[in-house]
Structure 1
């Protein structure tokens, strides 16, 4: 498959610099007047998790880009987007960023695909958009929150790995944190993890236990798909049942042989779980 990477870029939106990576086709985009099969489908705004700069989702962007105009966001405090000791790292600010990003890019029809923290951002942002949003995919969202069980990952896992990355680490050093990943995946994380602002990560982790994801998910007015991992303890069957009771139209797919970082563990299964929900199926064999 040839590369679908188009370019990286920045916009000034919601008062900060937001960096994104764009994948798709040069022959079509719903941000302009060009034509092509991509322009007939909603664009995808992919929102990564708590310590995942946009570049680490590039392999997914390559595949989604075969069928969709795809934008992968560096959430504030990660990658090349703004970070500072005075920046608001709350869920509300992150959600407002995504809304402002879609406006700054001129997207007229789009879908959110959010993983982990990104799924919580997508659900909150969806409550603030009046037009343009066509669907939402929530990929293994933390269901922790007020009165609920804590998020299963431990904070030192993030803090310790970021501290090593700031000093300088390689793929082998990253193995202790990501033992099942490939060398290439660990090398990329080792290269980019230092760009994650510890203040942003601490605030987001705190928000996992203070923000009510279920309340946001219950307000979804567009088609939604919940994708969960067979392994791990982030989303349990009873959580799925509760979410679907609140939003009966919410679809659900469980990816076998995958932990929380679903595309890293079972990339084929991740695309199979998406099916044609976004408007067209994708797979590792989809030609660019």
Structure 2
């Protein structure tokens, strides 16, 4: 059975400190609600394919651009800190008609761990952590930051930007088109195209705060009571076997599945397997979740599941 794409309803959400966040809602009347939180330097567009598929299967899918990212507002003074990101996520979760299942990639997953471990009752029905654990491999994070910092003067054309992305993500077979790149780039007064994120995200204390957050992350993770699925990429340089084992010892009720061939950019590398894993997880928690379509693989058929 072929799943039809689900169009999104574009809306906005105002944070406690007055910023406007760009939000997409697919299948507003569906359930359960999935709240998608992207990684550092990404946008809500990273979830488009997965959210459309899961919305077509009956889920209410909400994705948003974090402050300073994509079409969301930037902090006026450029003074970014981790706690407001956590507060934004909590506010969005509490604004949903029911506690959502959080699907959080990298930074989004860390914010979810803090919120799920520190707030009672939990703001989430369950957690899906996408290639992130409370301890991460420094080399992988440094590679991401190096890419983000590499082109402060931007690009002369979309083709030039596509070339740089292709070099950064050699596992991807197709280069991004101009249409795909438009949401990721902003044209400056000088005509140059620069990435969507606020440069102040890289210039302030936010990066160093991530390291200082690790004790808080471990403490929060140990207090998470809701169901947890950790999805990791087989070729990830941010999550490793040792960090996964450490996390599973800390959160013994968590499940883990590894997506073959995928890197840290898991949803983009292997979206079908990624989506199947989430659907299988939802099905294990929500008996009323509609059955899989004909020919659609289960998590255990496409992933390395324990």
Specify if TM > 0.5.
yes
| Displacement after TM superposition at 1:79 (Å) | 1.0
Alignment equivalent of 1:152, drawn from 133, 140, 146:
140
The answer to whether the Cα contact below 8 Å between 1:231 and 1:257 also exists between their aligned partners in 2 is: yes
The answer to whether the Cα contact below 8 Å between 2:54 and 2:279 also exists between their aligned partners in 1 is: no
1:58 aligns with 2:48: yes
CA distance in 2, matches of 1:267, 1:183: 16
Alignment equivalent of 2:26, drawn from 23, 48, 53:
23
Spell out structure 1 runs of 4+ moving beyond 6 A.
281-286
The answer to whether the Cα contact below 8 Å between 2:33 and 2:59 also exists between their aligned partners in 1 is: yes
Q: Which residue of 1 aligns with 2:158?
A: 169
The answer to whether the Cα contact below 8 Å between 1:113 and 1:137 also exists between their aligned partners in 2 is: yes
Name the Cα RMSD after superposition.
2.7
Q: What SS does the corresponding residue of 1:249 show, helix, strand or coil?
A: coil
CA distance in 1, matches of 2:200, 2:254: 33
| Displacement after TM superposition at 1:277 (Å) | 1.5
Q: Which residue of 2 aligns with 1:200?
A: 201
Residue 73 to residue 162, structure 1, CA distance change in 2 (3 Å): farther
Which entry has the higher C-alpha Rg, 1 or 2? 2
The answer to whether the Cα contact below 8 Å between 1:108 and 1:132 also exists between their aligned partners in 2 is: no
Structure 2 gap ranges (5+):
186-194, 297-306
Q: Which residue of 1 aligns with 2:246?
A: 242
| Displacement after TM superposition at 1:179 (Å) | 2.8
**Given the two structures, how large is their TM-score scaled by the length of structure 2?**
0.77
Q: Which residue of 2 aligns with 1:33?
A: none
The answer to whether the Cα contact below 8 Å between 1:113 and 1:139 also exists between their aligned partners in 2 is: yes
The count of aligned residue pairs is: 268
**Given the two structures, how large is their TM-score scaled by the length of structure 1?**
0.82
Residue 68 to residue 199, structure 1, CA distance change in 2 (3 Å): same
| Displacement after TM superposition at 1:191 (Å) | 4.3
Q: Which residue of 2 aligns with 1:91?
A: 82
The answer to whether the Cα contact below 8 Å between 1:263 and 1:270 also exists between their aligned partners in 2 is: yes
Please list, as runs of the form range in 1=range in 2, the aligned pairs for 1:36-51 lying within 5 A after superposition: 38=30, 41-51=31-41
Q: What SS does the corresponding residue of 2:47 show, helix, strand or coil?
A: helix
CA shift digits 1:191-224 (9 cap, x unpaired): 4142211222455433332221333322212111
Q: Which residue of 1 aligns with 2:103?
A: 113
| Displacement after TM superposition at 1:152 (Å) | 1.6
Q: Which residue of 2 aligns with 1:229?
A: 233
Residue 283 to residue 267, structure 1, CA distance change in 2 (3 Å): farther
The answer to whether the Cα contact below 8 Å between 1:99 and 1:128 also exists between their aligned partners in 2 is: no
Structure 1 gap ranges (5+):
30-37
The answer to whether the Cα contact below 8 Å between 2:34 and 2:100 also exists between their aligned partners in 1 is: yes
CA distance in 2, matches of 1:285, 1:125: 37
| Displacement after TM superposition at 1:272 (Å) | 3.1
Q: Which residue of 2 aligns with 1:13?
A: 15
CA distance in 2, matches of 1:135, 1:172: 38
| Displacement after TM superposition at 1:143 (Å) | 4.2
The answer to whether the Cα contact below 8 Å between 1:56 and 1:188 also exists between their aligned partners in 2 is: no
